[in-house]
Amino acid sequence: MRHCSVQVRGLLTRDELDRYNALMEVGSFLESVNRYDLVYPVQKEVDLLIQPAIERLKEKGRQRDRADEEYLASLREREGTLPSEED
């Protein structure tokens, strides 16, 4: 079973995290008894379950990018209003 990243796991809701942990436990058990034919559908369920958290992570990144751009724009604006050293 493939685990999702710590960042994605941190953005799962409590219900999603409980379900994720249960699915991972089932998948680990299936792997231990060499039932890889059944592990695949469980892994697909995990992949579907974590999609909303991946989208939340992407949105956090976009918000951070927007905040960075606003900050850089404010710096450029401030530099434009400061008197130059040559005056």
Least confident of 32-36, 42-46, 56-60, 83-87: 83-87
Quick check: 78 pLDDT over 90? no
Single-letter amino acid, residue 81 = T
The single-letter code of the amino acid at 30 is: L
In this prediction, residue 11 carries a pLDDT of 96
pLDDT of 39 strictly over 60: yes
Longest Cα separation, the chain: 79
C-alpha distances in angstroms, 2 versus 17, 23, 32, 63? 15, 11, 14, 28
CA distances from 16 to 19, 40, 47, 49, 52 (A): 5, 19, 12, 7, 10
pLDDT value of residue 79: 83
Count the neighbouring beta carbons within 10 Å of the beta carbon of residue 74: 10
- pTM comes to 0.76
Mean pLDDT score, 61-84:
86
Position 49 pLDDT exceeds 70: yes
Mean pLDDT confidence for 65-77: 91
